[in-house]
Amino acid sequence: MPRGAIREYLFGGDDVASDIREKYRFDGELLSMFADNRGPVVHKWHHYIPIYDRYFSRFRGKPLRFLEIGVAKGGSLQLWRNYFGDAATIYGIDIKPRCARFDGQSGQVRIGSQDDPDFLAGVVEEMGGVDVVLDDGSHQMPHIEASLRALFPLLSDDGIYMIEDLHTSYWQKWGGGFDARGNFFNTVRRMIDGMHRWYHDRPVVLPEISDKLSGIHIHDSIVVLEKGPVFRPVTSRIGG
């Protein structure tokens, strides 16, 4: 049966916090900020909460520059402001002009498309650089790749690029499909091959990413790319 409807996965219970605590053994401020939210709607999968905290917690209270693709009702920008604190520069982009009404509330909002590299470069320039990108935009395969190609080179060293809702990689409506060429996990495979360039003789397909890609983490529907220096590995035999 073809899948592709988020409502199939809606949580049927009434205690979101307990569900996350019990299944993922996670407790922390981000959990209560999400589960007790009485502000604008934030729509997140339960298992994302501990994953966000795992990769983002080191930036809390710091002058982080955070860019979220996809503003919708402004709820997630408010969540990130509460989580990261006042020292953070927080920007959201969205293609829908009506999202401009959230500009200046929890962060800055700019209107444009995530597949427009000039628009993205302009936003990053205005931000003074970017340390963390969270792609929660259209979830369309070509858009995910266009944003990644444009933004990863602009990310600071030691920065994090997180893409969520990658279940759409399996869904045709988003340009995906189990065997579809556009399935984003084919791009992930190319990045894995690029990371292991030392051990094969095929060309590096995405050098603008692979040349500074120090880590790739895959979770259910989330890919996290860590930017950092890359060195040809060496090995030593010591002792004996």
Ligand X SMILES: C[S@@+](CC[C@H](N)C(=O)[O-])C[C@H]1O[C@@H](n2cnc3c(N)ncnc32)[C@H](O)[C@@H]1O
Which H or E run includes 155? strand 155-163
Per CB under 6 A, 123 contacts ligand X = no
- Beta bridge partners, 5, equal none
User: Does 78 participate in binding ligand X (rule CB under 6 A)?
Assistant: no
Among 143, 167, 212, 227, binds ligand X (CB under 6 A): 143
Give how many residues touch ligand X by CB under 6 A. 21
Question: 160 in helix, strand or coil?
Answer: strand
State the CB neighbour count (10 A cutoff) for residue 199: 8
132 forms part of the interface with ligand X (CB under 6 A): no
Kindly state whether residue 202 participates in binding ligand X, applying the rule CB under 6 A: no
Three-class SS state of 99: helix
136 is an interface residue for ligand X by CB under 6 A: yes
Query: What 3 state SS string does 212-229 have?
Result: CEEEEEEECCEEEEEECC
Near ligand X by CB under 6 A: residue from 30, 64, 69, 123: 69
- Indicate whether 130 belongs to the interface with ligand X (CB under 6 A): no
Q: Which stretch binds ligand X (CB under 6 A): 4-12, 64-72, 152-160, 213-221?
A: 64-72
72 binds ligand X (CB under 6 A): yes
Per rule CB under 6 A, is residue 89 in the interface with ligand X?
no
**Should residue 93 be labelled a site residue for ligand X when binding is judged by CB under 6 A?**
yes
Query: Which residue has 């970017």 as its token pair?
Result: 130
**Residue 111, Cα to own-chain centre: how many angstroms?**
19
33 makes contact with ligand X (CB under 6 A): no
- Check binding of 75 to ligand X (CB under 6 A): yes
DSSP secondary structure string for all residues of 35-98: HT--SS-----TTHHHHHHHHHGGGTTS--EEEEE--TTSHHHHHHHHHH-TT-EEEEEES-GG
Local structure of residue 120 (DSSP, 8 states): H
Q: Are 82 and 33 in contact (CB under 8 A)?
A: yes
Q: How many CB atoms lie within 10 A of CB 98?
A: 10
Shortest distance in whole angstroms from residue 61 CB to ligand X: 22
Output 79 or 213, the one with its CB closest to ligand X. 79
Stretch that binds ligand X, among 42-50, 188-196, 211-219, 231-239 (CB under 6 A): 42-50
Closest CB 210 distance from ligand X, rounded Å: 25
Q: Determine, following the binding rule CB under 6 A, whether residue 173 of this chain makes contact with ligand X.
A: no
CA distances from 82 to 39, 59, 106, 217, 236 (A): 12, 13, 9, 26, 46
Q: Which stretch binds ligand X (CB under 6 A): 82-90, 102-110, 111-119, 173-181?
A: 111-119
Query: Measured from the CB of residue 121, what is the shortest distance to ligand X in angstroms?
Result: 15
- Residues near ligand X (CB under 6 A) are 42-44, 68-72, 75-76, 93-96, 113-115, 136-138, 143
